[in-house]
Amino acid sequence: MNIFLVILLIAAMIATVVALIRGIVAFLKTSQADLDGTQPSPSSLKSNRMMQFRIFFQALAIMIVVVILFAAGRT
């Protein structure tokens, strides 16, 4: 069970990094036309969505760490 949690933790950490990089790339693609518009641009919407995914994956990784530490304290 501990190996399974470690694998889940590594997957959550990788997903966090991927979401962070995708969010930064989407943010960097913002053009002047996007900044002058009155509505959110597709690139800013994608950047926001990726950053929300990053927060979700970070929270998931923290919860997995808590479960691992709890399980380690029980043995």
Residue 75: its pLDDT value, please? 64
User: Among all chains, which residue has been given the structure tokens 């990726």?
Assistant: 50
Residue 38: its pLDDT value, please? 73
Cα separation of the two ends of the chain: 13
pTM above threshold 0.85: no
Spell out, as residue ranges, where the chain has pLDDT lower than 70. Answer: 31-34, 75
Over its C-alpha atoms, the chain yields an Rg (Å, rounded) of: 17
Residue 18: its pLDDT value, please? 96
DSSP secondary structure code for residue 53 in this structure: H
